[in-house]
Amino acid sequence: MEDVFNQIGEEGIIDLVSSFYRAVKVDDILGPLYPSDDWEGAEQRLADFLIFRCGGSDKYIQERGHPRLRMRHIPFKIGLAERDRWIKLMNNAIIERKIGSPAREQLTSFFIQTADFMRNVEG
C-alpha cells in the first residue's frame, strides 16, 4: 500500500476519510453504528490508521497500539448489509476524490478484504 501513500500522500488519505465520513453521517445503515458524540474522533482514528497502513506516520500505533480491528469493532453489529454499505461508501469516496491507479485498486482491494474480515454476525 506504499503506492497509495506515494500517490496521494497523507493529505489525500485525510480527504478520502473526510469524504467517507460525510456520507456515513447521513447513512441509514452505518450512521447509527457511530457514537454521535465522537464523529471527529472516529474520522481521525481511521485517517491515522490508513496513513500508517499505507506507509506514513505511525501516530496510530503510538496512540492506540496494535490495530486489533476485529476486537475494536466487536461491539458493533457488522453483517453483510453493513459490510456492503461500508465498501460502497468508501468506493464512492475514492471516486469523489478522483483517486487514480494504482492507488484506487490497492485501496479497493484492501477495503473489501478488511470489511469482510470485520463481519461479526451472519447475514
Degrees (nearest 5) of the Cα angle 21, 42, 50?
80
CA 115/CA 99 separation, integer angstroms: 20
Whether 123 maps to a domain, the answer reads no
Query: Residue 118: is its pLDDT beyond 80?
Result: yes
CATH number at residue 14: 1.10.490.10
Residue 70's pLDDT is what?
57
Whether 122 maps to a domain, the answer reads no
- Residue 121 carries which DSSP code? S
Domain housing 109: 2-117
Whether 27 maps to a domain, the answer reads yes
For the segment 52-67, the average pLDDT, to the nearest whole number, is 86
Whether 95 maps to a domain, the answer reads yes
Residues near 20 by beta carbon (within 8 Å), at least 6 away in sequence: 46, 89, 90, 92, 93
CA 46/CA 17 separation, integer angstroms: 7
How many domains in the chain? 1
**pLDDT tens profile 84-117:** 999 999 999 999 999 999 999 999 999 999 999 9
Whether 74 maps to a domain, the answer reads yes
